[in-house]
Structure formats: structure tokens, C-alpha cells
């Protein structure tokens, strides 16, 4: 996990519409940058839908939400449409941002060790600095926790 108080690594990835999006485009506003394992899985769906339901509150506080997984642009588009997600989903099949943010880790899946994305959320400030960092995030609780952090 990256340290609080350090510069958030910039990246450019494709969003669910196949458009390039860079973290640096969000300079001047807070960003909730969350990494999740896979589209359309129970935990990831709860997390995404939680962010979607609270989206007006995040925008009112001037914060952008960006979700990143290694799923394809096509998978992200289906996920967005199925759940009417109003925020950016970025596809990172080459693990560019995933590795830059140190969320590609060894995990235990059914007794086997595999590499995968560890659910992690970063709050990045208006100047591109990491303000908060959370690992072992509880998917369903994460959106309301992040809104609370923004309200402090």
C-alpha cells in the first residue's frame, strides 16, 4: 500500500466507453480511487452500487469516484449498464495502476495461493497527494465510510 502524504502515481487507462482517462485530469478535486477484484461479483457489485447510490453526496462534496479492476472495457460497460453506475470504471488488464498502487498481492482462494487485486481504497486530495489509504476494505461498508471521511 502506498503511504499517506505521498504523491499519487499518475496513470492513463481506458474507461468503460473506451476513452482515455488520466488521474491528472482530476487535479483540483478530491478523488476516491478504489481498486476491486472483478465486475459482477457479489462484493464488487455491493461496493459499486453503494458508490452509485451515494454518488450525489460525493459530487456535492466535489469528489470524483474512480473504480479500477483488470476487467476489460467491454466487461466494465456491461457492469455500468446493468447497475446504472454514474462514475468512471477503468480497465487495467496490464496492471499499470494496480501495481503502481501496490494492490496486486498474493491471496488465498479455496486453499490455493493466487495473485489478485486486494480491495483497496485511496482518497487523493486536490493536489494529487494521498490523503487516506484503506486496505482490507469491507465492500458494502466502503462507500458510506468514504463519504464520512470526506465529511470530516
Q: Which residues are tagged catalytic? A: 44
Say if residues 124 and 4 touch (Cβ distance below 8 Å). Answer: no
> Cα(13)–Cα(120) distance, rounded to whole angstroms?
18
Cell of 108: 488465498
Say if residues 8 and 129 touch (Cβ distance below 8 Å). Answer: yes
> Cα(96)–Cα(14) distance, rounded to whole angstroms?
12
68 φ/ψ sector (left φ>0, alpha ψ -120 to 50, else beta): beta
Say if residues 57 and 20 touch (Cβ distance below 8 Å). Answer: no
> Cα(43)–Cα(41) distance, rounded to whole angstroms?
6
Cell of 127: 493536489
Amino acid at each position: 500500500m502506498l503511504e499517506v502524504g505521498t504523491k499519487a502515481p499518475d496513470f492513463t487507462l481506458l474507461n468503460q466507453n473506451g476513452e482515455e482517462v488520466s488521474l491528472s485530469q482530476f487535479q483540483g478535486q478530491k478523488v476516491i480511487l478504489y481498486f476491486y477484484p472483478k465486475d459482477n461479483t457479489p462484493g464488487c457489485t455491493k461496493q459499486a452500487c453503494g458508490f452509485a447510490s451515494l454518488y450525489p453526496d460525493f459530487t456535492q462534496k466535489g469528489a470524483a469516484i474512480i473504480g479500477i479492476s483488470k476487467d476489460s472495457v467491454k466487461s466494465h460497460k456491461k457492469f455500468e449498464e446493468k447497475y446504472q453506475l454514474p462514475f468512471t470504471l477503468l480497465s487495467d488488464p496490464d496492471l499499470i495502476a494496480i501495481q503502481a498502487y501496490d494492490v496486486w498481492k498474493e491471496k488465498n482462494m479455496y486453499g490455493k495461493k493466487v495473485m489478485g487485486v486486494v480491495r483497496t481504497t485511496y482518497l487523493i486530495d486536490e493536489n494529487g497527494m494521498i490523503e487516506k489509504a484503506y486496505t482490507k476494505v469491507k465492500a458494502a461498508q466502503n462507500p458510506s465510510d468514504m463519504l464520512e471521511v470526506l465529511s470530516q
